[in-house]
């Protein structure tokens, strides 16, 4: 892409130079913050297609080349060699931890996995069939009331909130799964591997303990790594904008969970699996379904396809497909759906509609299939995305607080409503 070396804007015959802010890699930015003051104009950019709202040193994406890096490390290397908590440390603190620092984080998180009885009562107050994303958002907000010494902006308070959020979100999600099935809650052991413990308290039968299959543990750890951050996506931008009002980290992340629940964002993993089932039930062939998507008449989208930033194969999607292949081979089950999904992908990738629009499978296309094969019910898929995204939200909240350029998020608008008119009393309307 051509490097912009000079930018000028001519408004009403007056030329103004616009400053260019340099990125270390990727798109540089055109500074427009004084435009309104200087020209009376605002910029219009619905959906923030072209607007950088902040600087960030956390995650880099090159959407054309299919590159994703956390703090400079390629996602493929982290997926292969790291663990979720190590990746969390990296995202939040900027560097890979030493062995001591990693062990300290793991121990601290595992020690805090129990949840207060008040939180259990809170979870029990919702209907058993409540969508877990709604309850999760409420539970994260409610956590703030139990830990008042983790609400401030000092390093110690933020560090405590970080540990509590990583630890208790896992337990809340595992409990939501048990509750939906009418099962009693199991106490975390306060030791052991984080992912093991999450699966143990989510899946152990009423009597006896689940022995976590190492392949499944590794697969889930990998899925959490792949979801851990994705720069300024909808939920992360929500976290940053809520946090910019100096609302506490729990309030900001609770709002982010609301954003993630939508089917165009994290909810797409559940929606994709539903779509596969609907295709099977409808008796349509995969080709017929693709024709409906292209026709747009029924408003159908190919869920798990397309991305605002990736205009090539989502590197996370490629990793998920690889691991799905391995896990489904080992576990059996869902193979028929997996074959259908692969067929759907193949047809879409060779179809002009998808080629022209650069629509490729994203991270959500195969994750639902994989979660389902691992035994997670469909409503738990998006909470699993939330568990994975937690380090990213925390890292962005902390980066936002520490950035001297942060101002309360407050976009402008282009007003298109009525100009002034006089109030009409009720009896005259
Ligand atoms: N199926 C069919 N057509 C699509 C799809 C799709 N999945 N995605 C985009 N298009 C079409 C869209 O209709 C439009 O066509 P046209 O130019 O004829 O009007 C064109 O492609 C551009 O789409 P857009 O909606 O303007 O693109 P966007 O950047 O605003 O939306 C998106 C990105 C992810 C919301 C969208 O691709 C989508 O709805 N995908 C399905 C939902 C999904 O899988 N979401 C998960 C995203 S990855 C995980 C995450 O970060 O949350």
Start-to-end CA span in the chain (Å): 58
Instruction: Calculate how far, in angstroms, residue 335's C-alpha sits from the geometric centre of ligand 1.
Output: 27
**CB-based contacts of 338: which residues, under 8 Å, 6+ apart?**
324, 325, 328, 366, 369
Task: State residue 62's pLDDT score.
Answer: 97
pLDDT tens, position by position, 220-266: 999 999 999 999 999 999 999 999 999 999 999 999 999 999 999 99
DSSP label at residue 247: -
Say whether pLDDT at 7 is over 60.
yes
b/e per residue, 158-167, with b = 16+ CB within 10 A? bbbbbbbbbb
Residue 2 has pLDDT above 60, yes or no: no
Distance 305 CA to ligand 1 centre (A): 7
pLDDT digits (tens, 9 = 90+) for 116-142: 999 999 999 999 999 999 999 999 999
Distance 420 CA to ligand 1 centre (A): 38
Q: Do 286 and 279 contact (CB within 8 A), yes or no?
A: yes
Q: What is the pLDDT of residue 151?
A: 97
Q: Is 17 helix (H, G, I), strand (E, B) or coil?
A: strand
Query: 357 C-alpha vs ligand 1 centroid, how far in Å?
Result: 9
For residues 41-57, average pLDDT: 97
256 lines ligand 1 (CB under 6 A): no
Measured from the CA of 362, which atom of ligand 1 is nearest?
Answer: 48
Q: Residue 79's closest CA among 261, 398, 321?
A: 321
Atom of ligand 1 nearest to the CA of 305: 7
**Where is average pLDDT lowest: 102-111, 176-185, 410-419?**
176-185
| Ligand 1 pocket: which of 45, 306, 312, 319 to mutate (most atoms within 8 A of CB) | 306
Instruction: Tell me the pLDDT band of 299, cut-offs 50, 70 and 90.
Output: confident
pLDDT number for residue 347: 95
Residue-wise pLDDT for 353-385, tens only, equals 999 999 999 999 999 999 998 999 999 999 999
Q: Is the CB of 242 under 6 A from ligand 1?
A: no
Nearest to 127 by CA among 186, 198, 176: 176
Residues acting as catalytic residues:
307, 364
> What confidence tens digit (pLDDT) does each residue in 93-105 have?
999 999 999 999 9
Q: Is 361 in the pocket of ligand 1 (CB under 6 A)?
A: no
| pLDDT for 207 beyond 90 | no
Mean pLDDT for the stretch of residues 402-407: 97
pLDDT grade for 192, boundaries at 50, 70 and 90? confident
Query: Does ligand 1 come within 6 angstroms of the Cβ of 290?
Result: no
Q: Is 161 in the pocket of ligand 1 (CB under 6 A)?
A: no
120 within ligand 1 shell (Cβ under 6 A): no
Q: What is the pLDDT of residue 104?
A: 97
């Amino acid at each position: 892409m051509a490097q912009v070396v000079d930018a000028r804007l001519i408004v009403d015959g007056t030329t103004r130079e616009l400053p260019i802010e340099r990125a270390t890699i990727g798109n540089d930015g055109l500074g427009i913050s004084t435009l309104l003051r200087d020209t009376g104009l605002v910029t219009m950019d619905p959906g923030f297609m072209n607007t950088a709202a902040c600087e960030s040193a956390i995650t880099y994406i090159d959407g054309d080349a299919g590159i994703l890096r956390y703090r400079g490390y390629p996602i493929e290397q982290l997926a292969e060699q790291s663990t979720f908590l190590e990746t969390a440390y990296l995202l939040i603190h900027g560097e890979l931890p030493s062995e001591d620092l990693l062990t300290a984080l793991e121990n601290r998180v595992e020690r805090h996995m129990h949840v207060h009885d008040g939180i259990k009562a809170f979870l029990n107050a919702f209907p058993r069939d409540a969508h877990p994303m709604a309850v999760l958002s409420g539970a994260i907000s409610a956590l703030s009331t139990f830990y008042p010494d983790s609400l401030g902006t000092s390093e110690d308070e933020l560090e405590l909130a970080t540990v509590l959020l990583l630890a208790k979100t896992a337990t809340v999600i595992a409990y939501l799964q048990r509750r939906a099935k009418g099962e009693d809650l199991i106490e975390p052991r306060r030791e052991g591997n984080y992912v093991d413990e999450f699966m143990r308290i989510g899946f152990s039968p009423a009597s006896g303990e689940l022995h976590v299959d190492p392949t499944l543990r590794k697969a889930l750890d990998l899925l959490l790594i792949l979801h851990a951050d994705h720069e300024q996506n909808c939920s992360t931008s929500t976290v940053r904008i809520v946090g910019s009002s100096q609302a506490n980290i729990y309030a900001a992340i609770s709002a982010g969970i609301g954003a993630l629940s939508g089917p165009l964002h994290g909810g797409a993993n559940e929606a994709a699996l539903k779509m596969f089932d609907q295709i099977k039930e409808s008796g349509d062939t995969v080709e017929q379904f693709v024709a409906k998507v292209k026709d747009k008449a029924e408003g159908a989208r190919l869920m798990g396809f397309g991305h605002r930033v990736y205009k090539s194969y989502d590197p996370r999607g490629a990793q998920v497909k690889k691991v799905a292949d391995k896990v489904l081979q080992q576990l059996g089950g869902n193979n028929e759906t997996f074959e259908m999904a692969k067929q759907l992908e193949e047809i879409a990738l060779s179809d002009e509609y998808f080629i022209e629009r650069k629509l490729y499978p994203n991270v959500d296309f195969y994750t639902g299939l994989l979660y389902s094969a691992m035994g997670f019910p469909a409503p738990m898929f998006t909470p699993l995305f939330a568990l994975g995204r937690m380090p990213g939200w925390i890292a962005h909240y902390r980066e936002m607080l520490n950035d001297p350029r942060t101002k309360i998020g407050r976009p402008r608008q282009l007003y298109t409503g009525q100009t002034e008119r006089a109030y009409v009393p009720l009896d005259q309307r």
